[in-house]
Amino acid sequence: MTIEQILADVKSDRKKKVIFDCDAGNEIDDQYALAYALSCKRFDVISISASQFKNTALVPNRHEGMLEGYREVKRVLALIGREDVPVYRGVGGKLSAFDEDALLPEVIPVDCEAVDNIIKTAKESDETVYIMVTGCATNISSAIAKDPTIKDNICVMWMGCSCPDMGGAAEFNLGQDRFAGRYLMNCGVPLVWLPTVSVDETKGTQTLKTGRRFLENAFTGDDAAIRYFRSELPLEHDGGYDEDPEGWWHIFWDVAAPAVLETPELCEFEEVEIPRIRGDEMYSFGETGRPKALMFVKFKDPMKVLDNMAKGINSFAE
């Protein structure tokens, strides 16, 4: 797919197939993004992958991080009554590379349920499958490295790296597996790039920021799922939620991924040459022959995105 074809498809009414690859359990935004994605009308989440992460405050190692994410996905599906969606365990650690300094590191693929499912789904589908990655790029990069032919039948949406104007790529998802991230950005797979922070505070996925008051107003009622999204989830991950209602806020980064496919009319996009990510995670610009991506720039109305998220999640209430 060319950049023009990707943009046309993103904006089209074609109902897309999506594999949702996430690090649920790392913080709270994946759970909201997953439930929202399962409510969306313009695409179908056909399976879910758990990706590895290491957050020393929560899990002791990456394998346990992946398992914690797997359990959290299962919990969300049970709460919203969508246990019919298959969930796959991902790679339990970072990828290794033969040449760590290479522009396109030759990563060593790792077999697991999620990798096999991505490959099988891509090869059996008669249409483009979107791989919506809201955590590190370990699972999708391992799948592409194991079978590069799947690039012909997928489009990857990755929430990773900072915006190009930051000069450096470093952020949590890239840092969890920098070889996987560099590989994904350089391997030539059709890519919708969703960078996180920008020098301009109106750009990037950072604009999906809201607080306790919004959650209390958006999620009303006594349904178990609604209670979970209103207060139980943020309380589990952030004790500050039970303090001053005006003093707690959170960036719902990962909600951006389903929002791009569900409400592309609220998005601004730009065709960009992907900057080179050096070994120190700084960007290098201006090199010839760089692969291109469709880059998400900003939401025209971030609060409308968050309102749509809440409306979608509320639809699961009994």
* pLDDT tens per residue across span 74-84: 999 999 999 99
Q: Give residue 102's pLDDT band: very low, low, confident or very high (50, 70, 90).
A: low
Strands across the sheet containing 87-89? 87-89, 43-50, 16-22, 129-133, 154-158, 191-193, 292-299, 267-273
Res 100 pLDDT > 70: no
Whose CA is closest to 198, among 250, 253, 258, 133? Answer: 253
List beta partners, residue 249: 211
Distance CA 58, CA 35 (A): 22
All domains of the chain in start order, with CATH:
3-314 (3.90.245.10)
Question: Is a pLDDT exceeding 70 seen at residue 103?
Answer: no
Assess whether pLDDT exceeds 80 at residue 98. no
How do strand 249-251 and strand 209-211 relate by DSSP bridges? antiparallel
- Among 27-31, 74-78, 208-212, 287-291, which is the least confidently predicted range? 287-291
> For position 101, what pLDDT does the model report?
65
Lowest-confidence region among 89-93, 120-124, 175-179, 286-290:
286-290
In DSSP terms, which residues pair with 107 in a beta bridge?
97
Written as one letter, the residue type at 185 is M
- CA diameter of the chain: 57
142-192 residue pLDDT tens: 999 999 999 999 999 999 999 999 999 999 999 999 999 999 999 999 999
What's 204's DSSP letter?
A: S
Check the CA dihedral 303-243-220-32 and report its sign.
Answer: positive
Q: Give residue 199's pLDDT.
A: 97
Could you report the per-residue pLDDT of 61-71, keeping only the tens digit for each?
999 999 999 99
How far is 172 from 54, CA to CA, in rounded Å? Answer: 10
Specify the pLDDT at position 246. 83
Q: Let me know if 19 is exposed, middle or buried by CB neighbors in 10 A (0-12, 13-18, 19+).
A: buried
**Residues 30 and 23: beta-carbon distance below 8 Å:** yes
Q: What is the DSSP string of 242-300?
A: GS-TTT-EEE-GGGHHHHHHH-GGGEEEEEEEPPEE-TTSBEE---TT--EEEEEEEES
- The mean pLDDT value of the chain amounts to 94
Q: Do the beta carbons of residue 66 and residue 82 sit within 8 Å?
A: no
Q: What pLDDT is attached to residue 202? A: 97
- Per-residue pLDDT, 25: 87
Contact 297, 203 (CB under 8 A): yes
Span 190-200, average pLDDT: 98
Secondary structure element (H or E) that encloses residue 17, with its range: strand 16-22
pLDDT tens, residue by residue, 239-290:
778 887 788 999 999 999 999 999 999 999 999 999 998 888 999 988 888 8
Which whole number is the average pLDDT over 112-119? 98
Q: Is the model's pLDDT at 220 over the cut of 80?
A: yes
pLDDT at 318: 65
For residue 46, pLDDT over 80 is answered with yes
